[in-house]
Amino acid sequence: MRIASFNINGVKARLPRLIEWLEETRPAIACLQEIKSQDEGFPRKEFEAIGYHVETHGQKGFNGVAILTDGGPAENVSRGLPGDPDDEQARFIEADFNGVHVANLYLPNGNPQPGPKFDYKLAWMERLRLHLEGLLASEKPCVVLGDFNVIPEDKDVYSVKAMASDALMQPESRDAYARLLGQGWTDALNVLNPRGGVWTFWDYQAGAWQRDHGFRIDHLLLSPECADRMSAAGVDKEYRGREKASDHAPVWVELA
């Protein structure tokens, strides 16, 4: 069972690339971030035509997340991260499919820091921590995945110096991410690549893709029940090099 995450950076702008990836890799569950579409404007017919069911939590112009499931609908769909009823940003959706609970997130970027955007990021991460406590307590097989906008360690970035002032690798961001792992979640890509050097994002600027100046911010966190079943995990790096690509590459985990 392949479960994948892809920050698509605008579903309408990347639709041919997204359909291509789905047909070539066929994940059972595909979680999308930055769909940049309202629910009613999401091109669901194109996904239904290739056998995927669609659940979205969108907003106009930015943010937005979606869960695509192959061959049947997701169940128990919930939209929005609990903990702040005034938060209107579409960044979180979760559901059950084929015996696995998936939580798909697009965590706030936090730049510029310091400032209100960074404060919002840290508050969001604390809300996430509290929510994930409950998921672990349920003892369900769970995968929490998406664009976390956190570079966990120095080994996860091409140049520590270049990113030193960025919100993605501030000590507070890293500490909040480490607290999630401390609950008992397994960072799938990190476990299988302990030396680092695995990137999931390459900026459009300054020839970052051509120079392999990337970093790892798209993560797959597995509950103990799923970690025991992990058979493989990886990055579909080649899709970043295709025409009109997203600046992220898809990440995936396979469960036995």
Contact assessment for residue 229 and residue 256, using Cβ atoms and an 8 Å cutoff? yes
Annotated catalytic, 147? Answer: yes
Q: Which of 39, 86, 96, 106 is catalytic?
A: 106
Q: Using alpha carbons only, what angle is made at residue 234 by residues 122 and 62, rounded to the nearest 5 degrees?
A: 45
Annotated catalytic, 52? Answer: no
| Calpha distance 40→44 (Å, rounded) | 9
Q: Which of 52, 70, 147, 177 is catalytic?
A: 147
| Calpha distance 34→64 (Å, rounded) | 5
Q: Which two tokens stand for residue 107?
A: 């965590």
Q: Which residues are part of the catalytic machinery?
A: 106, 147
